[in-house]
Chains A and B, each alone.
Chain A
């Protein structure tokens, strides 16, 4: 027996009328994406948990500003999570910390004939995760949204409040930066100071 999942918008209406099962269904459906977005953006599980909790508390509140006419619920929730993440990043300068850690990791990384081949190995994936975390936040968020969470460009443009062309160009630039970062792994540490794409973009 096939049952079509209830659309988010219907669940929000049910949630507002006090149906607990609607909240449980919405939370179950959206928690992972919000948590992972926060985790990839901040690099901290504790922060990601706090942000996820705050996002869904906002949804519960009576004065929750979600309007189905203005976009999807997923976009709305990502938007709140993004605001909280950016607030945290600007307050704690987590980006700077991540970049410092990344440089240390890169400097310690052993020589590899083809770093791209390494992406297929577990260490390569961990390295990629760190490289994403070390991207400047405007590039990081498009990679996390579009590449990791598979949000389409239009939705990403809406929640980043920028034209779709900007999303495309940022994504292109972000991927180029990731490639540069991953390639730098085989270069001597002394050259890292000269070739620092993330720093040059700030």
Chain B
């Protein structure tokens, strides 16, 4: 057996007595083989010593938080408000307050969009008894300073039961269905609700 054949058939020869014969005959192959065995043993030891290495616990905590956020986002923002944190229920509460203020003020939004609740006016189109009449209108909160700067505003989209809108006195057609209505809450950079916009 030549050296070339020896190394070519090395894996098969690992437990073969033929290997021993060549090893005895060729000192350079024997030395190289011994080195390889030492390296293999070293790698096994390195692997064994590395087994105890693992990422810090903080990573698991971060991942769990991300997992919970993901599940909460997937299951719908109003499905379990008590479990989804302030990011969901705070805007929802703000929406209800804004709608209540809107009703108390006797104010109807106009087709021109955003406006202050302190200057009530009646919009002619509001006679329509469905949500289309409110589409794309922005109802500013009474404490908000007029127009909301777009670059500093976060919009949070929510779903509100149609029945809740009816209960609040909004002009929603009773026969328009019993589903949910989408609404957007404008939050300023410091988290204060600036107003609400009902979507179709």
Contacts and interface: CB of A to CB of B under 8 A. Distances in A.
Contact of B74 (A18, A128, A129, A143): A18
Given A56-B63, A62-B74, A178-B39, A119 B45 contact: yes
A183 to B, nearest CB: 8
A21 B34 CA distance: 48
A56 B51 CA distance: 19
B64 A23 contact: yes
B60 A116 contact: no
Interface string B37-67: 0111111111101110111100110111011
Contacts of A52: 55, 59
Contacts, number: 97
Interface string A176-198: 00110011000000000000000
Contacts of B68: 20
What bracket does the count of chain B residues touching chain A fall in? 20 to 34
B46 A125 contact: yes
A179 B59 CA distance: 36
A120 B50 CA distance: 15
Given A18-B71, A53-B62, A62-B70, A124 B42 contact: yes
Given A32-B53, A52-B59, A147 B43 contact: yes
Nearest to B47: A148
A110 to B, nearest CB: 18
B63 A60 contact: yes
Contacts of A175: 36, 39-40
Interface of A: 18, 20, 23-24, 27, 31-32, 35-36, 39-40, 48-49, 52-53, 56-57, 60-62, 116-117, 119-120, 124-125, 128-129, 132, 143, 147-150, 175, 178-179, 182-183
User: Which 10 A-B pairs rank lowest in CB-CB distance, beginning with the nearest?
Assistant: A119-B42, A116-B38, A147-B43, A18-B71, A148-B47, A35-B55, A32-B54, A52-B55, A128-B42, A60-B67
